[in-house]
Amino acid sequence: MTSIFVRVNTALSALSPAVPFALGQYITASGADLPDTFIAYTLVSGDPAQHANNVETLREYLVQVSIFARAGLVTLPAVDAAMLAAGFTKGSERQLAYDKETRHFGLAKDYHYLEDL
């Protein structure tokens, strides 16, 4: 069984190295500036979706993928295509607050994955 973190990492690898990404928070090497565009992802929840004979048979995951870009939110990397190709389905989207310190705009996108156990 592949972990949800491996699934997301594999999906986002299709965009790398052009768009770097990390689990949780993107951290650069000591003293280096953040890239103009980068992605951070996190597991929001992983809930049982079905049981049979007292055994979990399906689990639904909700993963948030946040895209940060200094150039704004008009032209973003093809995160939808990468995640959908990996078996995820699209969920909600929401704009994140502009970061005055790093000068990045942000967009958070939710993706669902139903795992057959």
Examine the pLDDT at 1 and tell me if it is beyond 90.
no
pLDDT at 83 over 90: yes
The whole-number pLDDT of residue 84 equals 98
Q: What per-residue confidence (pLDDT) applies to 29?
A: 86
**Per-residue pLDDT tens digits for 58-73:** 999 999 999 999 999 9
Q: Are 112 and 103 in contact (CB under 8 A)?
A: no
Q: What is the rounded distance in angstroms from the CA atom of residue 52 to the CA atom of residue 42?
A: 29
Domain boundaries, the chain: 4-26+37-116
Q: 80, 76, 41: which is closest to 61 by C-alpha?
A: 41
The backbone torsions φ and ψ at residue 46, rounded to the nearest 5 degrees and listed phi first, read -140, 100
Q: What is the pLDDT of residue 35?
A: 97
**Residues paired with 62 in a beta bridge:** 45, 112
Q: What is the DSSP letter of 29?
A: S
Q: What is each CA distance from 69 to 13, 53, 106, 117, in whole angstroms?
A: 18, 48, 6, 37
User: What backbone phi and psi angles, to 5 degrees, belong to 6?
Assistant: -65, -40
pLDDT band at 16 (very low <50, low <70, confident <90, very high): confident
**CATH 3.50.50.60 is right for the domain spanning 4-26+37-116:** no
State the chain's mean pLDDT as an integer: 96
> Cα–Cα distance between 49 and 95 in angstroms, integer?
29
